[in-house]
Structure formats: structure tokens, C-alpha cells
Chain A
Amino acid sequence: MFYTKFKKWIAMAELALALVFTPILIAQTKKMIQVKGSDTMVNLVQILAEEYMTKNPKAAPIAVLGGGSGTGITALINGTCDIANHSRDITAKEINQAWERGIKPRTFAIAVDGLSIIVNEKNPLNQMTMDQVGAIYRGDVKNWQVVGGPKMAISLYGRQSNSGTYSFLQEHVLKNKNFSPDVKEMNGNAQIIEGVMADQAAIGYVGVGYVIDKTTGKPMKGLKVINISKDEKSQGYSPMDKEAVDTGKYPIARALWQSTNGKPGAAAAAFLQFELGPEGQKIVEREGFYPIGAKYIEANTKNLK
């Protein structure tokens, strides 16, 4: 009687269960570490992943995608990646969203970056203050002459708002004010470099790992890296000066972060340990970024446990 009355429903329920569980079983056979986020970090983490997989052929494969720090953090909150790359801190709003979604981010500093302000090599300017860079990117200063450069309209190159580098610059250099609408929004660091090389009036901002020619250890041909000072009275420092970055004399240095949901699983933890260990940090340095110092090592070790 019961079965006769509900057989249609039972058949439908069986079909629904089959539809649900078959793909789950298929999906569970594939274990891949998904890494998503910062474009500044994407090349570095891809190289770290490749070397890790070469050295550990039996380890879980790793897929590394860019998209920007905001995209990576959102993916972590939505449970669509295992590790988020981000070149800025997680905001209070994102921490609240994560908590609501059952995500407890644990962060690991994997490298240090000197955020580099670059111009075309033909630009005679060598140094600027933080305020001058902020005024240029807000659109308050529109000609190089105002900051001691040639009489030439400034051509702005930057990133989209989901970029951690965009947010970092907005917070620390633009003092939380808007970027000029004249900024040409590029898809990544490499595109900014191409733009600045081809445009004599250009200014751009990229991670230090992108400006160094790995064969010479100097800035890439066609680019000039500007020394940055905290204010008019301070000395300017280059982001390529390791000591200045380490000691905080270079005013726009930052850590490059990875975050996991809670304690990383065995596969993700093994990869993180490789990145944070001597082999990984050597790669970090080779790629033009700086290895993490003692203050980060302690926090990283604690978060891995």
C-alpha cells in the first residue's frame, strides 16, 4: 500500500541519490591541491609547485591559478581552493565572512616583496616620496615636471581592484583614496612591465620579483626602478636593496601570504613545508623576492601544527 502510493516518489528519490553520489565518488578519486589568488605570486608559486612535484613525484599534483588576491581569498571562503595566495592582509570583513562559512584561515608568510615603483628607463627621475607616488596615482599630479621629471603627461599603469597589490598601494600609499580613473588596468604584473617598457611617460607598480633580470640580477632592460623615501627629509631606498626591505627602511615592503582553511591537510602541509624550508626559500630568492625572516618563521611553524 505504502509502496504503491509512493513508488513514483521512491523511484525519483533513487534517481536523485544516484545523480548525487556518482559524481561524488568520481570526484573523490581525484586529489589535487588547488592554489588560487595573487597575480604577483602566481609565477613564484607555480615554480615552487613544479620543483616540489619534480622532487616528490608521488605527491599530490598542484594546480596554481592567478586572478588576484581578492579572488583567492573569496575562493578560500567559498571552499573552492585549498590554498589562497594573497599579497595583502585578509580584511576584517573577509574574516567575518569566513567565520560565517565555517572557514578558519591560517596564514603563512612564504616570501617578502618590495613593492616596486617603475618607470621607463628614459625617464631621468630616480627618486620619489610616498606622497608623490600617492598623488600621481590619485590623479592629483598629472605631469612629471611637478615631481622633478621632464615636462610630460604621466601615463598610469596599474591593476584591477581584486588585486592585492592594488589594495596594498591604495591603503599604504594612496591613503585609502581612489585611484585615478586614468589608470590603465592591466591583467597582471607582466602586462604592466610591457606597458612601462613601451611608454616613456609611464609609471607602474609590480612585485620586485618581476623587475629583475635573472641573468644579470639588475632591473630588466627598458625599466627603471625608483627609489622611494618615506618623506622629503628621508633617504630613498630601492626595493632591490635586501637590507632596506628587511629592516623596513624601504617603506612599501610587504609579506606574501598563503592561507589554508584551518590546519592544512597532509598534502597541503607537505607543500607548505617545502616552500618554507631551505629549498623553497632558495627558489624565492632566485625568483627575485626575499626569504622570510625570523618573525615570520615562528608564526609559520605554529600555524603548521
Chain B
Amino acid sequence: MKIGKAKKLALFAALALMTASGLFAQTTTPPPQTFSTTIYFDYSFWATNNGYITNTDPKVNANPMTNKFAFRRAYFTYENKISPGLKFRFRIDADNTGRLTATSGTKDDRLVPFVKHIYLDWTGLLPNSSLKIGMTETMAFKIAEDRWGLRSVAKTLVDGYKDLTGADIRTSSADLGVNLTGAISKELRYGAMVMNGEGYSHPELNKYKKYGGYLQVVPTAGLNIWGYAEYEKLSDKPEAAKMYKVDVYFDMVPGLNISGEWFTYDSDTKFNKITNADGTTTNSHFNIGGFSVFSTYKIIPDKLLVFARYDGYRPDSTNGNKDLSLIIAGADWTPIHSSWKIQPNVWFYNYKDSAKKSDIIVNLTFFLTF
């Protein structure tokens, strides 16, 4: 017997209502809601003036910058705990569009707000799991960012070098899709994600999806080993973007964290772009890779933490002369209240290219959250 269109619609509506009532049955009253804001800005001083960042080539940079105040991020987050197992998040991010190399602003370089997260977080699907549906954090950056914990000071390895080197990794801190994380036991956790692959700044542009996943092993308290892989087919030809990442975190001495991250990224020629000094882009086949070792130490809990990090980065596997390294050292000081932190930090850039001298940048970063 053929079911009429109206009946089908009614059936669908009834099913949708049943599903919704199942999900929301736990709540009889409006849920708790929270609003929060996180902002960071800094004063930066270039102690040197002749490296990659402040390129002295007059064609590129006729008026090198020596110091500046900059707002780097402002997040506004709304969270709604619909029921003990269901949460909704909406986050707006305002990003500084001005690049470190900019010598004169464009017509409008104001912070530009955009939607970073819109997702439902359901913790009831599997035991000890979280299923996020919508525009959600990706796993590529989050694993290291959570452990580094100093996003206001610097991005982590995979995320941090695009502007500086022009080598574009086709991955993003947030994307539209479905994200499942959980723990099988305290020794073994997992994560899997299916997403558009375009990040938070573009709608889906092709029929292919990006797949990512990790396994986290914690064989003994404080020793974490993560293996992460992501894959995205890029066209009907055998073209794909692939990233493999290993993270190891050592948290076995009270107050001290030592972490390491390694990754390699490979994508097809057509999609592998590098931005040249004159702003044009070149397509070629190369891998991008690097490693990062960082450490934090709590000197006075909740008050003073010191940190240091070393990154080795290879933006083009076919040209070792583009390699660079970065050392970051600094402190995270909470003088009065946890809503306000001061983070003095120093960055030392060193370049393989002998024509480029080192860069030293001194930052005084202010972190506000409320």
C-alpha cells in the first residue's frame, strides 16, 4: 500500500517529535545558561629587525615595524545546559586580520567577528562519551592546544606557521560535522570526526568529506600517547590530503608537564599551495612537517607558571633552506584574580636560510576572561 505524501510528512513529524521529546524529556523548565568572554591582546617589541618577519627587502617591507599593541582574539561564548546530558554552545570569535608583516593597514583592519562554534553536545549516547553535532572543535589542533594551555601566548605547531611561511595546511581549528570522543577505560580513549573539511570560514565546496580520528593511550597515570590521522579526498583523481600526528605528554612530576608533538602533512600538487613573497601562490608537491617540545612548570599554583617551547618547522620538504625554528619562553602570572593574567614572553626565530638573520620578539600579553 502506498503511503500518501501528507501521511509521510505526518509520520516524519511524529517521529521527529518523539525523538525530540526523548531527548528533552529530562527538562521541564528552561535550562541554565552561561555567558563568558575571553580576550587577549599584547604589546610586542621587535628586538631585531632583519629576519623573516621584518623582512628588510624594501620591495617587501619598506618600513619595518618595531613595536605595536595588538588585539589578537576576543571570544564571546553562550552555553546552554539543556539537560544534564545535553548542552548547546554558540561562540563568536573576533580575529585580528592584520598580519605581522603588514606595514600599512588596508582600508579596514578592525577585528572581524565570526561564528566559531555552534553545536549540540550529547553525553548520553555511549558510556563516558561526548557526541558533538554542528560547527565544533577539530581534533587536529585541540589535542595539543589543551595541553599547551597558552593559546594567548602562541598557537601550537600545526596551527602556527601558515602566516609566517605561506605553507597552507588544509585543516582548521573548527569545522562543520560530527565529532565523537570518549573513554573505553581510563587507559584508552578515542575520538572520531567526519567534517566538511573547509573549516569554519567556508561552506562545503566539494562532495568529499574529511575524516579524522585518534587513539589515546594512558598506560600509567600521567603518561599520554596520542596517535592522530586525518584524510580528505580532494577530487575524483587519486588526490587526497593526509595528516599524521603523534603527541606525547608527560605529567608525572607534580607541577611539571613535558610534552612533544610531531606531525607530517601531505596533499596533492593541485591543492598544495605556498604563498610567495609577492603574494602570488605556487602549486607544487611537497610535505609540511615539524615537531614541538614544550614544558610548563607551576611555581606557585594558581599564581605563577613558567613555560618554554621549541619548534622545528619544515614548510617545504623539497627545500630545506626554508626550515626554521622557534624558541618561546615566558611566564604566566595571575597577580590578583584568575580573570586577569599577565604573560611576558620572548620569541626567538632562527632560519636555515643564511641570508636571514634571527628574529627576537618580546611580548607582554594580557589575558582576560570573565
Binding site for B on A (CB under 8 A): 8-9, 12, 16, 19-20, 23-24, 27, 34, 75, 78-81, 92-93, 95-96, 98-104, 138-140, 161, 170, 176-182, 261
Contact = CB atoms under 8 A, between A and B. Distances in A.
Given A16-B329, A138-B29, A23 B299 contact: yes
B255 interface: yes
A93 B181 CA distance: 12
B306 A19 contact: yes
B31 A81 contact: no
B221 A104 contact: yes
Given A24-B299, A104-B221, A96 B186 contact: yes
B308 interface: yes
Q: Which of B183, B252, B358 has the most CB of A within 10 A?
A: B183
Contact of A102 (B30, B221, B300): B221
Contact of B252 (A16, A93, A102): A102
Contacts of B186: 95-96, 99
Contacts of B224: 100
B332 to A, nearest CB: 12
Nearest to A265: B254
A66 to B, nearest CB: 14
B76 interface: no
Contacts of A9: 348
A177 B84 contact: yes
A237 B279 CA distance: 78
A279 B331 CA distance: 44
A101 B251 contact: yes
A182 B31 CA distance: 10
B274 interface: no
Contacts of A80: 298, 301-302
Interface in B201-228: 218, 221-224
Contacts of A81: 301
A84 B56 CA distance: 55
A233 to B, nearest CB: 26
Contact of A100 (B218, B253, B306): B218
Contacts of B28: 138-140, 177-178
B50 interface: no
A178 B306 contact: no
A103 B30 CA distance: 37
A217 B29 CA distance: 39
A178 B189 contact: no
A181 B32 contact: yes
Contacts of B276: none
B304 A23 contact: yes
B183 A96 contact: yes
Contacts of A100: 218, 222, 224, 251
The range of chain B's interface size is 35 or more
A177 B346 contact: no
B96 interface: no
B231 to A, nearest CB: 26
Nearest to B48: A8
Given A16-B308, A27-B300, A178-B81, A101 B222 contact: yes
Contacts of B297: 20, 24
A178 B329 contact: no
Contacts of A178: 26-29, 31-32, 81, 83-84
Interface in B292-339: 297-302, 304, 306, 308, 329, 331
Contacts of B283: none
Given A96-B183, A99-B186, A12 B346 contact: yes
Given A79-B254, A181-B31, A103 B189 contact: no
Contacts of A20: 297, 306, 308
Contacts of B298: 79-80
A177 B218 contact: no
B26 A176 contact: yes
B128 interface: yes
Contacts of A78: 301
Nearest to B333: A23
Contacts of A103: 221-222
B306 A96 contact: no
Given A20-B306, A102-B222, A176-B84, A181 B29 contact: yes
Contacts of B31: 178, 181
A86 to B, nearest CB: 18
Nearest to A161: B32
B128 A93 contact: yes
A210 B27 CA distance: 31
A101 B249 CA distance: 9
B291 to A, nearest CB: 19
A23 B84 contact: no
Q: Which of A12, A96, A102, A176 has the most CB of B within 10 A?
A: A102
A200 to B, nearest CB: 23
Contacts of B29: 138-139, 178, 180-182
A140 B26 CA distance: 12
Contacts of B81: 178
Given A20-B306, A79-B255, A161-B32, A34 B27 contact: no
For the complex of A and B, the 10 pairs showing the least CB-CB separation, nearest first, are A102-B222, A80-B301, A102-B251, A99-B186, A139-B29, A23-B299, A16-B329, A102-B252, A20-B306, A102-B221
B215 to A, nearest CB: 14
A268 B104 CA distance: 59
